[in-house]
Amino acid sequence: MGASRPNGGSSHLSLLRQKQLKVVYLTFSSLPPLGNYCAESRGVCQWRSTNVQKLKRMQERDHRTGQAQMSNRVFLHGVPDTPRIWSALLEALGEDVLTPCLPGFCTLPPEGFQCTKDEYAEWLVRLLEERYAKFGPIDIFGHDWGALLTLRAVSLRPDLIKSWAISGAVIDPRYRGHAVARIWNTPLAGEIAMALSPKKMMEIIFRLSGLPQDIAKQKASTWRPYMRQSILALYRSASALRFDGDWVERLENLSKYGLLIWGSEDPYVSLLVARRFAEKHRAELYIEHGAGHWAIVERPRSISEALQAHWAK
């Protein structure tokens, strides 16, 4: 008789598979087919496609701009998300909130829009100016790149802001970016990573990151070439999240009504970085213990309470 396989064999293989997938995520995470690319040398988000009509139909089906007609509150998503990432939190809040989509994430970017960090910041400032004209001072909350753009917009136009809150990212000159950001920032390596990350793999990666299955599947479904190319251009314009100069210096203009919401287990931007930023800029820090980068999805009820308490001040 042959030797029997240990009972823990399948479990061991499963754990090994998870480790392999995590390695894939940290080395080759996300983006488009090699036939569609961003011109990284200029940071220009250039779309190449032979089936534009098909893409337009897909965009019309998936475009969600958060049509809140009577709200001074704005929630801005990050990478690689769309406004749908806010669904659980909005349900917990039960309030009217504008949830715009970053250009190039729900649809093709506007003609001439090069998907750089400065263009996204200008786009956000214009949106805030429009909301301010209708509803007065704004409560803004940004996650991931939405957090970075929130800080930039608030530092440029503090007069538009009633309060600000961020989660998952800060502008910190001492922070040198995470592994995936460095890959995306690298010409050719970023394109290869894009090509090696189909939707099914992205769904698995999102699940391993702690997202519920339905959210992971939905996020993966939006993983389209135009979003991937927008991401490449954005990260390359920011040197893989290494900020300096005016983006850092203007943080002195941040209003005092700031809140950081952080998952204690965030693998991309550690709690240490969040603490350092909160102390330097006199902002409150709310820690969601045991949560990761997408704490807004993992703990919507407690985070909604933290936001309501913040706004009440």
pLDDT, tens digit, for every residue of 120-160? 999 999 999 999 999 999 999 999 999 999 999 999 999 99
- The yes-or-no verdict on residue 192 having pLDDT over 80 is yes
What's the average model confidence in pLDDT over 215-237?
90
- The yes-or-no verdict on residue 97 having pLDDT over 50 is yes
- The yes-or-no verdict on residue 41 having pLDDT over 80 is no
Mean residue pLDDT across the chain: 82
Distance CA 229, CA 191 (A): 9
Q: How high is the pLDDT of residue 69?
A: 58
Extract the runs of DSSP E, i.e. beta strands, from the chain: 73-76, 138-143, 161-167, 258-263, 284-288
How confident is residue 288, by pLDDT bands cut at 50, 70 and 90? very high
Q: How high is the pLDDT of residue 17?
A: 43
Of 204, 175, 183, the closest CA to residue 268 belongs to 175
Place of tokens 């900020």: 243
Extract the runs of DSSP E, i.e. beta strands, from 256-301: 258-263, 284-288
Residue 161 pairs with which residues in a beta bridge? Answer: 138
Which region holds residue 282: left if phi is over 0, alpha if psi is between -120 and 50, else beta? left
Q: How high is the pLDDT of residue 68?
A: 56
How confident is residue 222, by pLDDT bands cut at 50, 70 and 90? confident
Domain 11-312 architecture: 3-Layer(aba) Sandwich (3.40)
Q: Which of 35-39, 57-61, 171-175, 213-217 is predicted least confidently?
A: 35-39
What's the average model confidence in pLDDT over 92-104?
95
pTM: 0.79
Helix (H, G, I), strand (E, B) or coil at 44: strand
Q: In what order do the strands lie in the sheet with 161-167?
A: 73-76, 138-143, 161-167, 258-263, 284-288
Distance CA 229, CA 174 (A): 27
Distance CA 90, CA 114 (A): 31
- The yes-or-no verdict on residue 307 having pLDDT over 60 is yes
Q: 139 or 95, which is more confident?
A: 139
CA distances from 56 to 52, 111, 220, 222, 312 (A): 6, 14, 19, 14, 42
Enter the tokens of residue 100. Answer: 């715009």
Q: How high is the pLDDT of residue 237?
A: 96
Enter the tokens of residue 97. Answer: 């909130």
Q: How high is the pLDDT of residue 7?
A: 42
How confident is residue 213, by pLDDT bands cut at 50, 70 and 90? confident
Q: 255 or 67, which is more confident?
A: 255
